[in-house]
Structure 1
């Protein structure tokens, strides 16, 4: 393991009340430092975030579940409190997946329950296909892991956000936080000013938003990598799976949920009309009993 000792020496804008966890930093083989939290003990739940989130997204679930389970959540490189990189190759989703694999293996986590949202789906399931012996359960929340380059819905968004205008909006205007996030939830009131400040401050300037700006283009351009995960889905499709789906999501529709249901062999699906893209942020009280039920089986 290449971890620095736990520390609370983090930015002043991180609220100890809203985010009551001890910060830790994992040094990757390439010398980057991934911020993570590791709370509680027992069977591990590993939370995998997407764009433009960080481990803060899962705080409600972790506060409740850490009394019964070991809850681990890392910030991908370029997100949250992790270090940044100016190397384009570090921002490819497969690079995020390689660092996530290294992180989980270095912590030697076994019998893992993976909670995955947005890009966390492909990143987490890349680990599951390579290490099915270490994964016990899957929680899939508004995500995907197959090529979508032929789907106009995804292709338009990907190409628009990867265009010069899209990259300008993301890097210079923090559009993914200020524009996309509020539109992706069922009720904007759940994203209070205090909550939004934690997402804005995690991406404070154009240089810090490189990873956030890179991922939208890979929705289409990482089709080969996504396809390789989907072809290997037999490695994880028989795992006990909880499908948690916010129906008000502007990104992932009920169409994507149906594809999951056709692929997974041992699933339970729940659709929430009062949830959008970030159900862990929006309706944690609705999904907690379902997660506990899965973990108690």
Structure 2
């Protein structure tokens, strides 16, 4: 876990907030006017709220931007006695949203933040105003989800490694040293913008995983896929109808080697057939790092337009 006041040489200058509502010490950023429209940003593996630092700065002048760190990531605690499956992260996010009584929420979802956010949407569609997927899958009860996940895993170096490492017993030992191999993990997933790599940037992404005991979140997400432990939400008919009527946007870095557009953008279009899709050529899985100005600009413009 990172120190609460860590700013990484001023690159993450946001006051830390904490809640015990999910049953552990969960960190979140809460920037912007209290009465502003809520933008809730959900990170994935192996990142944390630092991923959204440019979006926080850009939107918080007019919006209330809330960025939680999932259990086992960033400045949140990594309790040893908890499980780290998808459904646990949805439960934790739900507890935060209810504790803060967030309504009119624009979801901005990256990587496994997509399934976590869609799980929240299935439970509380009345609290959601917009859906924005940025290289984040949007599973929402589609009948072909398993086939798409399987086909993607066959083409993805990251998911290929997960399957091989779990079978050989290497998954936990390797990811238990994530603080030392964070850059190779990011590169394997599809990170293209080497110009942003500095000592501060590496510390921001590596220091949450200083010891094996700090890596349970990263291990859990990978292991859940290898063992089938993750449970994807299936919305009820009312929630399904409600979410399909929301404004939605997909942004996808086409150089993503972990989540292939051909497998996951159809999930988005199945829910939102008329929603815009913005493909970013040469941009990898971490679109907020590879093309921060373009990605954040697209999000800000979409919120203004809708």
Q: Same fold (TM over 0.5)?
A: yes
Contact 1:79 1:211 in 2 (8 A): yes
TM-score, length-scaled by structure 1: 0.88
- 1:39 counterpart residue number: 31
- 2:19 counterpart residue number: 26
- 2:142 counterpart residue number: none
1:142 has 2:135 as partner: yes
Q: Secondary structure at the match of 1:202?
A: helix
TM-score, length-scaled by structure 2: 0.85
Match of 2:234 among 209, 220, 228: 228
Equivalent pairs, count: 287
- 1:290 counterpart residue number: 298
**Aligned 1:90-105 pairs, distance under 5 A:** 90-105=83-98
Superposition deviation, residue 104 in structure 1? 0.7
Superposition deviation, residue 295 in structure 1? 1.2
Superposition deviation, residue 209 in structure 1? 0.4
Distance 1:63 1:225, change over 3 A: same
Q: Secondary structure at the match of 2:78?
A: coil
Superposition deviation, residue 124 in structure 1? 0.6
State which drifts further: 211-220 or 257-266: 257-266
Whole-angstrom distance in 1 between the partners of 2:42 and 2:62: 19
Contact 1:237 1:266 in 2 (8 A): no
Match of 2:221 among 215, 223, 242: 215
Q: Deviations over 1:99-130 (max 9, x none)?
A: 10110111111110000011100111111111
1:238 has 2:245 as partner: yes
Q: Deviations over 1:164-208 (max 9, x none)?
A: 112211103547623220231123333333212101011111110
> Which runs of 5 or more residues in structure 1 are unaligned?
1-7
Superposition deviation, residue 281 in structure 1? 2.2
Distance 1:140 1:171, change over 3 A: same
Q: Secondary structure at the match of 1:275?
A: coil
Superposition deviation, residue 140 in structure 1? 0.3
Superposition deviation, residue 227 in structure 1? 5.9
Match of 1:111 among 104, 111, 130: 104
Distance 1:254 1:36, change over 3 A: same
Superposition deviation, residue 263 in structure 1? 3.1
1:263 has 2:271 as partner: yes
Contact 2:162 2:171 in 1 (8 A): no
- 1:190 counterpart residue number: 196
Whole-angstrom distance in 2 between the partners of 1:80 and 1:126: 21
RMSD in angstroms over aligned alpha carbons?
2.4
**Aligned 1:68-79 pairs, distance under 5 A:** 68-79=62-73
- 1:160 counterpart residue number: 164
Superposition deviation, residue 158 in structure 1? 3.6
Whole-angstrom distance in 2 between the partners of 1:103 and 1:234: 24
Moved over 6 A (4+): none
> Which runs of 5 or more residues in structure 2 are unaligned?
140-144
State which drifts further: 276-285 or 112-121: 276-285
